[in-house]
Amino acid sequence: MSTVLDAARRVLQKANEALHYKELTKRIVDEGLWKPEGKTPAATVNARLAVAIKEDPNSPFIRTGPGKFALRNGVAPLPETAAGATGESMSFTEAAEFVLKKHGKPMHYSDITTEALKLGLIQTAGRTPEATMYAQIIQETQRREKRGESQRFDRKGGGVVGLVAWNPVGVEGQIAKHNETVRKALHQQLHGLDPAAFEALVGRLLTALGFEGVTVTRLHGDGGVDVRGTLIVGDVIRTRMAVQAKRWKRGNNIQAPTVQTVRGSLGAHEQGLIITTSDFSPGARTEAMRADATPVGLLNGEQLVSLLIEHQILVRREPHEMLQLGDPPKEAVSP
């Protein structure tokens, strides 16, 4: 995946005109050149370009007006690849989306893989990258279906894959819109739970995820740990987990000190997990993965909603039957 500046340079190179940073960001994301992690990608693009221009007199970028950027005359074009100068590779599904958008038509998964390897979008030491590509597309489709999320890929049979965005809006579009409304309502419902009910819900979810011995602590002075349980994998791996549940409003993100508090409350051989209805600051994410400390897992509001839907907690899945005409009757053959 390209850096922000590489992605901006490619889009401006292709546009051959100045673009407002909001439109520039939209094109960067739509073309799969950069995957933003925060909730304000346009602000990130604007800031990165502004800093690049300020710090480097020979920057390839220039500001042409309020919020508008273009390439300086005489800037050499970047090579036609989505991996960017950093050499970072995409995931198989990201590469598939990029290749499909580039060609603008459904393709067989083996052709998608060949093109992705040719462009340097993916790196693999496996001998069957085509099988990996198709398996990951299938896995994503199944996962999104279970979680009630809108689909990205449209499997047309025979190994041919397209993009759902190309399909005409119809019943599937109406269902996707309805499911998105339910997702937002469920997220809002979580904010209305009292602390005890939210902790009980987290315990219920952990049980559904395969944890055993799940208990809600409800103890004061326990370092903020609300739920404890043990994840057992194949009767061999046992991971004891101490969980803190944070029912916070959107925009009120978990900060690094909270991660430090949870880590300090861990018992022997325990790992930490923070589950929140909001999100985590960059500092919290960095602290959670600090190399010289026990890692602490982070589960934000969007991920929480997806897991609740996947395991049908507070929601239910309703199948609907659709009638379609079959083949017309064949004309009778005279004896």
Mean pLDDT across the chain: 84
Q: Which CATH number is associated with domain 4-71?
A: 1.10.10
For the cut 60, the answer to whether the pLDDT of residue 282 exceeds it is yes
Q: Any idea where the domains of the chain sit in the sequence?
A: 4-71, 92-166, 191-310
| Maximum distance among all Cα pairs of the chain, rounded to whole angstroms | 91
What is the enclosing helix (H) or strand (E) of 70? strand 68-71
Give the residue with greater pLDDT, 83 vs 293.
293
Q: How confident is the model at residue 272 (pLDDT cuts 50, 70, 90)?
A: very high
Residues 6+ away with beta carbon under 8 Å from 214: 203, 206, 207, 227, 228, 229
Class of domain 191-310: alpha beta
For the cut 50, the answer to whether the pLDDT of residue 49 exceeds it is yes
Q: How confident is the model at residue 185 (pLDDT cuts 50, 70, 90)?
A: very high
Q: What is the pLDDT of residue 218?
A: 66
> Hey, what are 325's tokens?
């005409």
Q: What percent of the chain has pLDDT over 70?
A: 89
Mean pLDDT on 180-193? 91
Q: How confident is the model at residue 33 (pLDDT cuts 50, 70, 90)?
A: confident
232-255 confidence digits (pLDDT tens): 887 778 889 999 999 988 778 999
Mean pLDDT on 18-25? 91
**In degrees, to the nearest 5, what angle opens at C-alpha 185 toward C-alphas 179 and 189?**
140
- pTM score, two decimals? 0.57
For the cut 70, the answer to whether the pLDDT of residue 146 exceeds it is yes
Mean pLDDT on 201-207? 94
Q: What is the pLDDT of residue 160?
A: 92
Of 14-18, 27-31, 256-260, 331-335, give the range with the top mean pLDDT.
256-260
Q: What is the pLDDT of residue 1?
A: 46
Do residues 228 and 217 touch, judged by C-beta distance below 8 A? yes
Do residues 226 and 202 touch, judged by C-beta distance below 8 A? yes
